[in-house]
Structure 1
């Protein structure tokens, strides 16, 4: 991209809109027929983004992701078409568009959500045989059993406490020796796991590896973090939600928009007392947006401790040494209406 130094990390929709404006302005003297913004911020955020884009920037379409929204027809906001194609490769979105070369704008379009199944094309026997030669070798490795749960553990929603989220948070908290363990709910990519857990199923469940680092925070800062991540505005399918370890109990009132209580080991969190909190590297990098606490605040009370450069390896090792484990919903995170 021309002048790619203009493109930086942004954490808000407003910042994203500003970056798009900068990029479009770089190319304003080029004859650009079509401008498409590719995002991964969720459908509702795409709508908000479209409202902020100036018409003179010339953005024609937003193709988004993250919320896995299935659309019968694209939305049209601020004369910008917004579409997503659902989940994974279950289907693909097809846009047929006609662009006016004089105005460099879309004058007609047709949208179709195409399901991917055997009606699309006939299987390629040679390609299937080629893939199966590798698949058999891979299956032998990834079908190796890591552990067995006493029952299937589930993760049906990101916004609430889940049994699968509980065991993952406890595993990492155990290794981290921390008061509070925050695991991004979006790190867990399946609805259920077990009772038999193989190498392949675990990697599919937790595919995005990252570091784990322990920090010091005050009780007041901890309350601020939980007030932020538990607020109702964060539970819209697009916010950054978390699974937490068994030491912690947090109660939030939706009607009052307020954190009612938070305890660690059944003791109320004290404002001026210090506590350890461990998180993935991604959440430290985006701590202000995700946790309402800055990087400077997280490192101000003591030198951070890198627990592991691989959260996945911590998880796999813990599961191997804790067979027949299970978890229930315990009320770690409770939302009161």
Structure 2
């Protein structure tokens, strides 16, 4: 979600998450989702609850709405639950990965939903807690697990993956143009001593990237750390699973909003929305049958970006891209 100076905010977040958590594009998301949340008993799913900033905004703006908050991180769930406890039964926290949406809804007895938000990437809590290993600005264990439970860690990826697999991850997930140089350095260094903490890995990455390229594009380790995080948490696989599930769960008039922070995520959302908002009729048909008409209506022209004022206030919003679509017809 962009770069920022890292501080130890664990205690501050537990005491008052609003102090360190600024929901990205909150007002615009409310503007686009709230029209679908006007009926009594309407249901909004926050698939990436984090510390509950977006969920709180929906609960306050739409008093007739119930919010289901999903997050794989039990620490985030605990903080958000404390933050939102005053809303009582209108808020339901669920520990799960967002691609488990169908199971979550089944367990809660929910047949369809009215809106859903996916705010992809890292939460402020995950970035700022040094022991989680997501940050390249501080020395920490190479962990990067969002829930701290699954077996695979960033250290295991760096130390055990075949060079060709590391190269693929850095190129595809990190879009790192110097991936081959970085992988060669990593493989050479791990033979003498396995990587355990982030500072050594950051130094190896910096040494592998040409001096001229270090002066632009942010921190030299940013793309490699992004790639490792995506691999460890299977983020793209989860996104690939949740997008069709979310659209399937939406009733007619329901809306799906997705905040993406890098091109791979945004491209997946863009492609799905493009297909859903296009008819499936052959080009020669003079009239498109109802069964072949689009299922979605795009509510954003392309991907909307945060304002410059918001970016200045919250630098983590800089790379955010928002797309929102509305279901206008039942699934084929």
Higher strand share: 1
Larger radius of gyration: 1
Query: TM-score with structure 1 length normalisation?
Result: 0.29
Higher helix share: 2
Query: TM-score with structure 2 length normalisation?
Result: 0.29
Structure of greater relative contact order (alpha carbons < 8 Å, 6+ residues apart): 2
